[in-house]
Amino acid sequence: MYGKPLILRHRFLARTALYLVPLLILGVAGGVIYLNRELDLQQEWREVDYTQYESVRLFQEYLRIDTSYTTGSEVPGAEFLARELAKAGIDVHLERLGDRHANLWAILEGEDPRALVLHNHIDVDPIRKPDLWLHPPFGGVIAPPFIFGRGAFDMKSLAIAQLLAIRALKQSGQPLRRTVIFLATSDEERDSWLGTRWVIREHPELVERFDVVLTEGGAAEAISLDKVRYWGTEFHQKRFVDVWVCGAERAALEALREDLMSPEYPKGRRQLSPATQRFFKIYAETRDNPDFRRFLRRPEVFLERPEYQKLSRKQQLMMRNALVPFPIEEDPEGGYRMRVILHLLPWVELEQGWQELFPQGLSGFSFTVDVPHPPIEASPLDHPVYQGIHEYMGEVHPDIPHGPLFLPAVATDARFFRAAGIAAYGFSPFLIVSSDSAKIGGVNERIAAPPFVDGVELYRGLIRRLALEPGAP
């Protein structure tokens, strides 16, 4: 159908910014934005001994473990999580896959055997420019008001919040209404072949208990600390397919790349799903611009009108297929190669997307295609757990609109759970600085201590609500 057979070039799946946790989506930074200017005004935080908080101490310890896929190992990270769970009397299953990879899960049984799964991944991105770091990447250094370290955002901070949430449930001694599973997986930074995808394939007896998954991917938008405009829980994201185009001559690949990047190159046709329309209509009510509100309320009407061109690129990506060509590089097997990532709308089959994005084919080149993820449905917004998040956020932050979020340019493991028929939602509890969110996977990755401490408590309360309290879903 596409020339060469669809095969996996696993060793080429180095992650790029495309796959990072949400950065700026619809002008939104992951978590609620703590503006640097306002943090600088909070001088009292500079005098705080952050190590008085157990959450910070555990976070530092976890950050000090090199779990990167180039120089580190996930096994010590999994062992750290296992020890902390065991201290609370929680039985843990730790699965080692070779010398450097591991998955871990722990189950708190509840009245309902269908489980709420708290998912995180153990691995982190590599350190590509260590000389530019202000502090050791695996030092867990506190330089008020920040905590520095690779994985501070992606995603050891949320892992600690989940760890402390399930530990608090166990220590409460109260019977759970819903079973809760803590799940830490491997290999997410390289497409989860030994992590989430492995667990789904190799442990059906565990996965059949998964009712709903909470993982990374949430985002929020703020103008200032006292005016947070939107707190989004991720429920839908695009599909991504890696294509490696190979050729004997660099010049031919350079010419192809120039064509693919040209503004005149054919764009995928504009289309909407009911889930995307619902997101737009909810999000529209938080916008100040009346023209933007009008478009988002009825995108199906304005899709082919000039107003569409006024949207940002990320907004447009929610309504069409697209591709991203990367720079040409030498192919270890000879000649040259170019990586092209296809951004496919979640419901689009690969064949349809291929025909839209390569209307002239790839004549004259050989290519390989990563095993494509199947089309996926959005997680339902009427699911009791999503509704529970919505209600809880309305109580904790009544002045902040909460709603769904569609990720158009980044991916999380939620897509694999959804492909397996399991509802999954990305939720971030942290109040973070927008400029810091841009450091995910880059130099000086960090998180401000105030939002980290507050976010851990917020998450603990949310999980208690979902799993334990009367009226929980």
CB 157 within 8 A of CB 447: yes
Q: Are residues 217 and 90 in the same domain?
A: yes
pTM of the shown model? 0.88
pLDDT attached to residue 223: 63
CB 425 within 8 A of CB 237: no
Domain stop point among 346, 369, 392: 369
Angle of helix 290-297 relative to helix 274-284, nearest 10 degrees, comes to 150
Q: Are residues 51 and 158 in the same domain?
A: yes
User: Which of these, 21, 141, 17, 39, lies nearest to 433 by C-alpha position?
Assistant: 39
CB 142 within 8 A of CB 216: no
Q: Are residues 166 and 243 in the same domain?
A: no
C-alpha–C-alpha distance, residues 359 and 355, integer Å = 5
Residue 165 maps to a domain: yes
How many distinct structural domains can be found in the chain? 2
User: Which of these, 233, 239, 238, 281, lies nearest to 380 by C-alpha position?
Assistant: 233
C-alpha–C-alpha distance, residues 280 and 283, integer Å = 5
Q: What is the amino acid identity at position 25?
A: I
pLDDT attached to residue 438: 60
Query: Across 219-309, where does the E strand assignment appear?
Result: 219-224, 227-237, 239-247
Q: Which residue has the tokens 């120089």?
A: 71
DSSP class of 68: B
Residue span of the structural domain in which 171 resides: 17-237+377-467
Residue 104 maps to a domain: yes
Residue 313 maps to a domain: yes
pLDDT attached to residue 11: 27
Q: Are residues 205 and 278 in the same domain?
A: no
Domain stop point among 369, 390, 424: 369
Q: Are residues 320 and 217 in the same domain?
A: no
Q: Are residues 309 and 325 in the same domain?
A: yes
Q: Are residues 319 and 177 in the same domain?
A: no
Domain stop point among 353, 369, 385: 369
CA angle 404, 212, 13 (to 5 degrees): 80
C-alpha–C-alpha distance, residues 413 and 270, integer Å = 26
For the domain that residue 64 is a member of, what is the CATH number?
Answer: 3.40.630.10
Residue 181 maps to a domain: yes
pLDDT attached to residue 314: 80
For the chain, which ranges sit under pLDDT 50?
A: 1-41, 471-473
Write the DSSP string, 153-202: IIIIHHHHHHHHHHHHHHHH-PPPSEEEEEEEES-GGGTTTTTHHHHHHH
pLDDT attached to residue 222: 66
CB 195 within 8 A of CB 128: no
Q: Are residues 136 and 276 in the same domain?
A: no
pLDDT attached to residue 219: 81
Q: Does the bond joining 145 to the residue before it have cis omega, within 30 degrees of 0?
A: yes
Q: Are residues 125 and 89 in the same domain?
A: yes
C-alpha–C-alpha distance, residues 315 and 326, integer Å = 22
Where helices occur in 288-423 by DSSP H, the ranges are 290-297, 299-302, 313-317, 350-357, 384-396, 414-419
Instruction: Please provide residue 33's backbone torsions phi and psi, each rounded to the nearest 5 degrees.
Output: -75, 125
Instruction: Please provide residue 353's backbone torsions phi and psi, each rounded to the nearest 5 degrees.
Output: -65, -40
Query: Across 89-177, where does the E strand assignment appear?
Result: 92-97, 101-108, 112-121, 142-143, 146-148
DSSP class of 11: G
Tell me the CB-side half-sphere exposure of residue 87, using CA atoms within 13 A: 11
